[in-house]
Chains A and B, each alone.
Chain A
Amino acid sequence: MSDTAHTTSRRVDFRGGGFAPKQRRGMGILVFVLLILFAEWGTRSGFITNLTLPRPSDVAMTFVELWQSGMLYKHLAPSLSRLAVGATLGALVGVGVGVMIGLFSYVRAGLVPLVAALFPIPKIALLPLFVIWFGIDEGSKYALIAFGTFTPTVVATYAAVDNVDRGLIRMGQSFGLSWWSIVRKIVLPGAMPGILSGLRISLAIAIILLVAAEMLGAEYGIGAYILEAGSLYDLERLFAGVVILSVLGVCVSAVIAAIETRVLRWRV
């Protein structure tokens, strides 16, 4: 080995690349655009029949029609207000209960089994019950969305409170901070990353439940619009409705991302 060591020289192969996610701008949009272009080309050329998939340009035309006739607003406004009221209610109560579970052993012992019992119930199955309790109109929809948002928020919040660095809490105690100061200045900000990532999931569930609630009894709303289109096999309108939901989901996710970058500036 040492005899031939100097006779040939070769650069050492680099093998340390990959496995490190990097930010690639525009890729997400590119995938969307390619898929849509493919569908457009397929439906125009006859490769995909009109029964299988509506032509993207027709969906876009339907959307423009919907907008021009003012029906978009008529469907979107009640949906958005249901989502806002229900999700806010569920998230607020969920964060509150989650923090209480995180802080007090008695509350934890009492409520964790209850939350575990409520979590797997498909909330949509309870809609008839909510209709009886809260009335056939807005009340039952708010309750359904709030209830569906509540359980995942609780679980995410108390896990987040559990994960707050105990060393920081000991530090607060050793400096004689009051209990309330420790909760407000150490526990809550420390739990914020976990609470926000929990909200991403809860709000997606809220959108799903919004549509489900509207399908089961509403004159206006995205869910009602999709149900009507679906029962007429009007695929253009069905897809227009689905696109609205997707956009709604992307918007909610973007809002949370914006909150995260503002509130969690301190994160490494």
Chain B
Amino acid sequence: MDLRLANVSHTYGETEVLRDINLDIPSGQIVCIVGPSGCGKSTLLRMLGGLEQPTSGEVLQLGTPLAGCLNPLTYVFQDFALLPWRSVRGNVALVLEDHGLDAAARARIIDDVLTRTKLTEFADALPKQLSGGMKQRVAIARALAVNPAVMLMDEPLSALDSQTRELLMDDLISLWTRQPFTAVYVTHNLAEAVRLGHKIVVLSRRPGQIREVVDLTTPLAERAYGDAALEAQQQHLWGLMREEAAAADAELIHV
């Protein structure tokens, strides 16, 4: 299943947030959206998953999700959004409970995703016992459990320290390499974008418009930390964003 944004524009009251966005998200790829703060990238992501409606334009699903997909458009949130009163297993179970699966099928799915995210031995821990990186792995496991057609990731690593971020990027790459998934990955961190993106969409400052779409052809598994070619790409992206970011930073906020 592919996703398409067709002529999407959005305004909050007087403020124009997004202007005429056209974008295809092809299945099996990770599309990164980068841009200066306040450029509407999170708004764009909320529209893709149906949590917000664009003022004009349409968000389209092309084709139907595969059988066995319980929640086609699934988010991974920046603040993890785990229920603190449920164990790791309970948090994953939560999203399977409304789908009429029997207990054995649920247990099978939970065991599978916990194995894939290397969380099996923490199954009974409460979120308060876990580090930030572990919490986000639980959230990723929860997202994988519903077998999504598209994962919508809203700055999933931004709340983590930089070492944990590296570890989780490696985890995401190995998850993707074993079983490619489709994802839209919003971030303000260019290093994350060039490590994880097959396609990087650069947005301008508000009102957000697409400035450039960069395609990266190096396979994910071959992109290593500190790779020279990636550095060059990152430099190029920073060149695109630098002025936008500076201008966005200097803007007065009218709230």
Contact = CB atoms under 8 A, between A and B. Distances in A.
Contacts, number: 53
Interface string A160-174: 000000011011111
A189 B146 contact: no
Interface in B199-254: none
Contacts of B71: 174-176
B47 interface: no
A267 B74 CA distance: 27
A266 B85 CA distance: 5
Given A185-B83, A266-B84, A175 B77 contact: no
Contact of B84 (A172, A174, A175, A268): A268
A267 B203 CA distance: 40
B97 interface: yes
Given A175-B74, A181-B97, A168 B128 contact: no
A174 B142 CA distance: 12
B1 interface: no
Contacts of B126: 265-266
B104 interface: no
A175 B146 contact: yes
A170 B84 contact: no
Interface residues on B, range: 20 to 34
Nearest to A174: B75
A52 interface: no
A171 B77 contact: yes
Contacts of A168: 81, 83
Nearest to B126: A266
A185 B94 contact: yes
A9 to B, nearest CB: 37
Nearest to A167: B81
B67 interface: no
Interface string A191-206: 0000000000000000
A45 interface: no
A56 B81 CA distance: 56
Contact of A268 (B75, B98, B128, B142): B128
Contact of B74 (A174, A177, A186, A266): A174
B128 A173 contact: no
A178 interface: yes
Interface string B82-99: 011110000000110110
A175 B95 contact: yes
B84 A171 contact: no
B132 interface: no
Secondary structure dominating the interface of B: loop
Contact of A189 (B79, B81, B83, B97): B83
B98 A177 contact: yes
A189 B94 CA distance: 13
Interface string B152-182: 0000000000000000000000000000000
Contact of A171 (B73, B75, B128): B75
A90 B167 CA distance: 53
B28 interface: no
Contacts of B84: 266-268
Nearest to A192: B85
B26 interface: no
B51 interface: yes
Contacts of B75: 171, 174
Interface of A: 167-168, 170-178, 181, 185-186, 189-190, 265-268
Interface of B: 49, 51, 70-71, 73-75, 77, 79, 81, 83-86, 94-95, 97-98, 126-128, 142, 146
10 contacts: A167-B77, A171-B81, A174-B75, A175-B74, A186-B83, A189-B83, A190-B85, A266-B127, A267-B128, A268-B128
Given A167-B79, A177-B94, A185-B94, 11 more contacts: A167-B77, A168-B83, A171-B75, A174-B73, A174-B75, A175-B142, A178-B98, A181-B98, A189-B83, A189-B85, A268-B128
